[in-house]
Amino acid sequence: MLTPASSIAIIGFSDRGRSLGAQLAAHGCLLRAYDSMLDAESTRELMQDHIEASGVDAKHTLAEALRGAKLVIATVDARHSAETARSAAALLVDGQIYLDLSGAPASIHRDNALLIEGSGAQHVVGQLHTTLSLTGRAAAGLAEALQSLGCFAHAVNTLPPAEPHVPGHYETIRPETPRRGELP
């Protein structure tokens, strides 16, 4: 599945992206990253330096970053999760894996999964703590591959490849929290 020679793209180079990128770069992975801060002239140089200081190749468009990547890791925050998934889904192809580390509510992950899997790519949801917890059809294989690259990862919930998307599947990872004043 993944080897150090596999191309990995990171979308969003915040603390999570930088931390995971540095860990994978230390194991010789071919990494490239795109962050929306590369779009603005006022932040482009700073973000490019930030990405490249981590041993990752900065790409100036999402298409450049995703082209040919075996694994796409989205580390954007929850507010940008749906927008990022929509943009990525238009560029992803069969055989790619989209790992969503946004921490978005379960309903957004369900919608993102439909978009990503509609492109032919596989959608995996992860939470990054001291270990990377993964869920989705490709979670077990991705966890094993990431472990071989030195990451602490495990699959907590998977679906067999032949089964269709099951509504409610992602609630096991991150249930939606009630709004202020609502009962759970």
Q: Quick check: is 104 in a domain?
A: yes
Q: Which CATH number characterizes residue 84's domain?
A: 3.40.50.720
Decide if 124 is inside a domain.
Answer: yes
User: How many angstroms separate the CA atoms of 114 and 122, rounded?
Assistant: 10
Q: Is residue 129 situated within a structural domain?
A: yes
Number of structural domains the chain divides into: 1
Q: Is residue 121 domain-resident?
A: yes
Half-sphere exposure of 125 (CA within 13 A, CB side): 29
Q: Which domain holds residue 95?
A: 7-172
Q: Is residue 180 part of a domain?
A: no
Instruction: Specify if 162 maps to a domain.
Output: yes
Q: What is the pLDDT of residues 142-160, one digit of tens each?
A: 888 888 877 778 887 665 4
Judge whether 72 and 99 are in contact, CB under 8 Å: yes
State pLDDT tens for residues 95-139: 999 999 988 888 898 999 999 999 999 999 987 766 778 888 888
Query: Max Cα separation, the chain?
Result: 51
Q: Is 184 domain-assigned?
A: no
Q: What is the pLDDT of residue 1?
A: 67
Cα separation, 153 vs 120, whole angstroms: 24
